[in-house]
Structure 1
Amino acid sequence: MRVEVVVNIASGSVGRDAPVEAEAILAAHGADGRVHAPGEGELDACLRDVIDARPDLVLILAGDGTARAAAELAGPEGPPIAPLPGGTMNMLPHALYGVVPWPEAMARCLAGGQARMISGGEINGRLFFVAAILGSPALWAGAREAARAGRFDLTLLHARRALRRAFSGRLRYVLDGRPKGKAEALSLLCPLVSAALDADDQALEAAALDPASALDIFRLGVNTVTGNWRDDPSVVVGRCRTGKAWAGGRIPALLDGEMVRFEDMVSIRFRPKAFRAWVPPEGPAA
């Protein structure tokens, strides 16, 4: 099997020794492969070149944004992608392989497996494969990343900005032609991770979050920790294949952990065939 490995040493939990360690794992499994460690500004071109070469398997050791970009570039017809946990949240790797270190996930992928078609969602042409959040709660991602980097000055700045946006302009949305709704945030979960959907379901799980006060936010946070967020009175849950959402200004969003900003109106679509993931013999451990 011809294998290509792309390592982003600048990512959250990769490290400068990762390319050498990846080469050792390839050798231990007798894989015919190459390890690429692109420099600053070279990552996007490297991903495209590797996927265009159409190897039997592409392993990506990087953060959430790079994993999502590689899967989007490969699409349903490209080579299978194995996103290894090299970032901070590692949403897609954890959904596919469980919470394990990247060398273990890489070794499991090289020990065998098969390509499995993964569904996903699309917002204004941008794909996601785990979950998306639209609305002001997405702004807290900046505070989270600043705190992890030890930049508490930036943490406070992002937190104040997120608080100013909270309750300042709710989203309006329409899903699958149902009546219009209004919410502080709209969360979209893919079948890969949704506890309410089977892996083969042809829809996204949509949750409209509309806390009316700080007390509601606290209660929703407690319910999220205990796993009962779907039963919270400020949450409306349903399924969605197509939809749209709009607001009075630009819409902040998180796509598989990556912060993006959309214009004031977005379209939403379920993608039944988004990309092929490489799944070890024991299958995904969501």
Structure 2
Amino acid sequence: MRAELIANVASGSVGRDAPERAKAILAEHGVDGTVCAPASGELETCLTEALARKPDVLFVLAGDGTARAAAEMAGPDGPMIAPLPGGTMNMLPRALYGERAWPQALAACLTHGEERMISGGEVAGKLFFVAAILGSPALWAEAREAARQGRADLAIMRAQRALRRAFSSRLRYVLDGRPKEKAEALTLMCPLVSTGLAADERALEAAALDPTNALDIFRLGVKTVTGDWRDDPSVSVQRCRIGRAWAGGRIPAILDGEPTRLDDHVSIRFRPKAFRALALKDDAP
């Protein structure tokens, strides 16, 4: 196996010693690997160069945004991607490797790894492989990001904006040619993580969230913790292969944990073959 490993030492839980630890783990398993720790601003270039060398697998030790970017750049015809948990939320790594820390996930990939084609979704030309949230609740992610950066003033300002937008700007959407509907938010979940879909399902699970007051939000929050959120009266769940959504202005969104802003009218579609992952066999310890 020829491997490339990119470690973003400035990300979440990676650590300055990660490149040396990664080299040791690769060597211990007899893998011919190159480890790169890009400087600030060089991450995208490092990803491009690593993929151009056409390794068998590209390990990405970084945050959610980098993991999603690597999988999107590789696509279904590129090398296998192994997103190791190096960020804060680690949505894609957790979906593939559970709660393993990155050294254990790397070692498990080298001893019990297998290729698996991963499906995903696409919103406004941007791919996601775990889940996407469209609508005003996504504004809370922008407040979270400011808090993570130590900007308490900016976090408070963004939280106040999220509160003002709540219940004031509903999302319109059409899924698979069905009649137009509206909701506070639309969540799209991939088969990789959705408990409502089979692993080989060729569709996204679309959950429209339409609470009308603070009590509805509280009840939905409790049911989310208990796992019964699909039964809440403010939630409507259906399958989706293609669709579109629009609002009165730019749509706040979260794609695999990363906040972004989309145009006021976006397309939605399911991607049955998004990228090749180095996943774990069922008997992995």
Q: What is the TM-score when the length of structure 2 is the normalising length?
A: 0.97
Residue identity opposite 2:246 in structure 1 = W
The answer to whether the Cα contact below 8 Å between 1:58 and 1:82 also exists between their aligned partners in 2 is yes
Deviations for 1:7-39, whole angstroms, at most 9, x for unmatched residues? 111111111111111111111111100100111
Number of the residue aligned with 2:169: 169
Instruction: Give the superposition deviation at 1:280.
Output: 2.3
The answer to whether the Cα contact below 8 Å between 2:4 and 2:57 also exists between their aligned partners in 1 is yes
Q: Provide the C-alpha distance between the structure 2 equivalents of 1:260 and 1:233, rounded to a whole number of angstroms.
A: 28
Instruction: Give the superposition deviation at 1:115.
Output: 1.0
Instruction: Give the superposition deviation at 1:155.
Output: 2.5
Residue identity opposite 1:32 in structure 2 = D
Deviations for 1:166-215, whole angstroms, at most 9, x for unmatched residues? 11110000000011100000000000000000110000000000110111
CA gap 1:57/1:226 in 2 versus in 1, 3 angstroms:
same
Q: What's the secondary structure of 2:197's corresponding residue?
A: coil
Number of the residue aligned with 2:57: 57
The answer to whether the Cα contact below 8 Å between 1:206 and 1:237 also exists between their aligned partners in 2 is yes
Verify: 1:6 aligned to 2:6, yes or no: yes
The answer to whether the Cα contact below 8 Å between 2:169 and 2:184 also exists between their aligned partners in 1 is yes
Q: Provide the C-alpha distance between the structure 2 equivalents of 1:166 and 1:183, rounded to a whole number of angstroms.
A: 11
Does 189-198 or 12-21 show the bigger shift?
A: 12-21
Q: Provide the C-alpha distance between the structure 2 equivalents of 1:248 and 1:139, rounded to a whole number of angstroms.
A: 15
Number of the residue aligned with 2:133: 133
Residue identity opposite 1:263 in structure 2 = D
Verify: 1:76 aligned to 2:72, yes or no: no
CA gap 1:284/1:191 in 2 versus in 1, 3 angstroms:
farther
Deviations for 1:211-269, whole angstroms, at most 9, x for unmatched residues? 10111111111111111110000000000000000000000000000111111000000
Number of the residue aligned with 2:264: 264
Number of the residue aligned with 2:273: 273
Aligned length in residues: 285
Q: What's the secondary structure of 1:111's corresponding residue?
A: helix
Instruction: Give the superposition deviation at 1:149.
Output: 4.4
Q: Provide the C-alpha distance between the structure 1 equivalents of 2:204 and 2:284, rounded to a whole number of angstroms.
A: 19
Number of the residue aligned with 1:236: 236
Query: What value does the CA root-mean-square deviation take over the aligned residues?
Result: 1.3
CA gap 1:119/1:178 in 2 versus in 1, 3 angstroms:
same
Residue identity opposite 1:74 in structure 2 = A
Instruction: Give the superposition deviation at 1:116.
Output: 0.4
Q: Provide the C-alpha distance between the structure 1 equivalents of 2:68 and 2:136, rounded to a whole number of angstroms.
A: 22
Residue identity opposite 1:206 in structure 2 = A
The answer to whether the Cα contact below 8 Å between 1:140 and 1:158 also exists between their aligned partners in 2 is yes
Q: Provide the C-alpha distance between the structure 2 equivalents of 1:165 and 1:50, rounded to a whole number of angstroms.
A: 42
Alignment of 1:36-115 (within 5 A): 36-115=36-115
Q: What's the secondary structure of 2:87's corresponding residue?
A: coil
Q: Provide the C-alpha distance between the structure 2 equivalents of 1:149 and 1:222, rounded to a whole number of angstroms.
A: 29
Number of the residue aligned with 1:224: 224
Q: Provide the C-alpha distance between the structure 1 equivalents of 2:154 and 2:263, rounded to a whole number of angstroms.
A: 25
Residue identity opposite 2:174 in structure 1 = V
Residue identity opposite 1:257 in structure 2 = G
Instruction: Give the superposition deviation at 1:150.
Output: 4.5
Residue identity opposite 2:130 in structure 1 = V
Deviations for 1:103-137, whole angstroms, at most 9, x for unmatched residues? 00001111142210000000111000000000010
Q: Provide the C-alpha distance between the structure 1 equivalents of 2:173 and 2:76, rounded to a whole number of angstroms.
A: 29
The answer to whether the Cα contact below 8 Å between 1:97 and 1:284 also exists between their aligned partners in 2 is no
Q: Provide the C-alpha distance between the structure 1 equivalents of 2:7 and 2:44, rounded to a whole number of angstroms.
A: 12
Verify: 1:146 aligned to 2:142, yes or no: no
Q: Provide the C-alpha distance between the structure 2 equivalents of 1:84 and 1:117, rounded to a whole number of angstroms.
A: 17
Runs of 4+ in 1 over 4 A off after TM superposition: none
Q: Provide the C-alpha distance between the structure 2 equivalents of 1:13 and 1:151, rounded to a whole number of angstroms.
A: 19
Q: Percent sequence identity over matched residues?
A: 71
Residue identity opposite 2:90 in structure 1 = N
The answer to whether the Cα contact below 8 Å between 2:96 and 2:280 also exists between their aligned partners in 1 is no
The answer to whether the Cα contact below 8 Å between 1:95 and 1:284 also exists between their aligned partners in 2 is no
The answer to whether the Cα contact below 8 Å between 1:98 and 1:284 also exists between their aligned partners in 2 is no
The answer to whether the Cα contact below 8 Å between 1:8 and 1:62 also exists between their aligned partners in 2 is yes
The answer to whether the Cα contact below 8 Å between 2:119 and 2:274 also exists between their aligned partners in 1 is yes
